[in-house]
Amino acid sequence: PMKGRFPIRRTLEYLQKGEVVFKNSVKIMTVNYNTHGDLSEGARKFVFFNIPQIQYKNPWVQIMMFKNMTPSPFLRFYLGDGEQVLVDVEGKDYKEITQHVKKILGKSDKVLEAEALAKMELSNPANFGPKKYFLRECMSEVEGQVPHPGFVPLPKEMTGKYRAKLAAVSDD
Which residues lie near another protein (CB under 8 A)? Answer: 10-12, 15, 27-28, 30, 34, 36-37, 51-52, 55-56, 62-64, 66, 68-72, 74, 76, 78, 80, 82, 86, 88
- Provide the minimum distance between the beta carbon of 145 and another protein in the complex, in angstroms, as a whole number: 37
| Shortest distance, position 37 Cβ to another protein, whole Å | 7
16 vs 123, beta carbon nearer another protein: 16
Closer CB to another protein, 71 or 149, in the complex? 71
CB of 103 to another protein, least distance (A): 20
CA distances from 164 to 38, 125, 142, 171 (A): 87, 38, 29, 11
Residue 84, CA distances (Å) to 29, 80, 119 in order: 10, 9, 31
Exposed/middle/buried for 27, CB within 10 Å: 0-12, 13-18, 19+? middle
User: First and final CA of the chain: distance in angstroms?
Assistant: 75
Helix 94-105 / helix 41-49 crossing angle, nearest 10 deg:
70
Nearer to another protein, 37 or 147 (CB): 37
- State in angstroms the smallest separation of the CB of 41 from another protein: 14
Nearer to another protein, 76 or 107 (CB): 76
- Shortest distance (Å) from residue 5 CB to another protein: 12
Among 82, 94, 80, 6, residue whose Cα is nearest residue 46: 94
Nearer to another protein by Cβ, of 10 and 163: the residue is: 10
